Chain A
């Protein structure tokens, strides 16, 4: 319980950079709607790893950058990131005790909430997505979560020593 969790800021920075890269990477037409929410998953990992160091403001700022990058309404992804990361921060203690499959279920719900918030905002401004594939990233994020979690954990452990 009392282990000191060090945060390696270089790793943090690199992982976020990787997140933005993956968000920007062009996908073939059939996969446009299936890209996992990379940045959200990476933020989840860091909240889980060092909840006391990362605050919701950080997630909000990353969301704002994502808005500018995607050309979306300013504050849209920021708000969604803020709400989801706040809830995740509240529940992270419980989350840690879960086995991996249950964690994935939780991630599914969180990403669903994230997408739902963006869906709502898009609805309010009158630009709903025309395809039901909009909900695709919920599933793909679920698939990618264990890999991101294990990769980042090992990475961080390796370089923190």
Chain B
């Protein structure tokens, strides 16, 4: 009898201890998460924690994505011979067209280089391009982001521009060991310096959410912007290379009484459909070296490092 009572007491003590521990744990973790959130929102100090967490998650993401890819592969491998033949001829004709374009562009490139040499400015070097694939995983629908199957191991770096075959997709905002995260141009935190390819007017295109058009901000109502104009990256801000298509102007609204026009832009890239993307490797180091070499060649005299550095800085600005 006594034993059972003492046992019950013990149990009760344990129970209360457990409850108290839970309450303490709750309070501590509550405060900790609030601090963590503030820290994560204000600074980028949490990048390390995020990277290690994504490393845990990466195998899961791959294992979800792979079966879907295999399904798609199966679908395509069972398509009929006729369809494939059709596609083949289509692709061949496309290739022919693009080869012709390519020849034109090679001659243009040469000409461009000569002109630039005449102007004594550094030639823009096309960075090497790598192919990556978008993992078929779902993310927070608040954010327009995608996960790529290439990470630090593959040389992906923070801020790297991401393109698809038709235009600019976005930039890398987080690099894990095996995966990386890309913020698309439609994300509400994305802002891209652009230029109207027809008139040369510069502006900034900001995103406003998935499946919504981009917006050009701070463009005066009097500026020459028309529906159908193509916008390209202006290269200002040094984050994106110059001259990649960003979008086409969809709508220009001038409201009397407002300073700026409301301009909606349709993104050029197939944000919803593309599976393969291109990672542009802007080799700034090589660019710097080449520019230095050119300057040396042009001036034919001993130029000390300092002046080169200064002139390089001017060029970028």
Query: Does residue B61 face the partner (Cβ distance < 8 Å to A)?
Result: yes
Within 8 A of A (CB), among B59-115: 60-61, 63-64, 68
A106-124 vs B, Cβ < 8 Å mask (1 yes, 0 no): 0000000000000001100
Interface residues on A, range: 35 or more
Q: Which of B41, B181, B188 contacts A71 (CB 8 A)?
A: B181
Q: Is the CB of B64 within 8 A of A24?
A: yes
Which of A52, A64, A70 makes the CB contact (< 8 A) with B139? A70
CB A154 to nearest CB in B, in angstroms, measures: 25
Q: In chain A between 52 and 81, which residues have their CB closer than 8 angstroms to a CB of chain B?
A: 52, 55-57, 60, 64-65, 67-76, 78-79
How far is B56's CA from A20's CA once the two chains are assembled, in angstroms?
12
Partner of A26, one of B30, B63, B136: B136
B49 an interface residue at 8 Å Cβ cutoff? yes
A14 within 8 A of B: no
Contact A25 B22 (CB under 8 A): no
Stretch at the interface among A3-11, A27-35, A95-103: A27-35
Q: Is A21's CB within 8 Å of the partner chain B?
A: yes
Question: Are B139 and A35 closer than 8 Å at their CB atoms?
Answer: no
Check if B34 is an interface residue, CB within 8 A of chain A: yes
Give the complex CA separation of A86 and B25 in angstroms: 10
How many cross-chain pairs have Cβ atoms below 8 Å apart between A and B?
Answer: 108
Bound-state CA distance A127–B46 (Å) is: 20
- Chain B residues engaging chain A, CB cutoff 8 angstroms: 18, 21-22, 25-26, 29-30, 32-34, 36-37, 40-41, 46, 49-50, 53-54, 56-57, 60-61, 63-64, 68, 136-143, 145, 174, 181, 188-189, 209, 211-212, 272
* A and B contact pairs by CB, cutoff 8 A, 30 listed: A20-B57, A21-B63, A23-B138, A26-B64, A26-B136, A26-B138, A29-B272, A33-B141, A55-B21, A56-B29, A57-B25, A64-B53, A65-B57, A69-B139, A71-B139, A71-B140, A71-B145, A73-B40, A74-B36, A74-B40, A75-B32, A75-B34, A75-B37, A86-B22, A127-B142, A127-B143, A127-B189, A129-B141, A129-B142, A130-B209
A-B contacts besides A26-B137, A29-B211, A64-B53, 20 pairs, CB < 8 Å = A24-B64, A26-B68, A26-B138, A27-B138, A32-B141, A33-B141, A56-B29, A57-B29, A65-B53, A65-B56, A72-B140, A72-B143, A73-B40, A74-B46, A75-B36, A76-B37, A79-B33, A86-B22, A127-B143, A127-B189
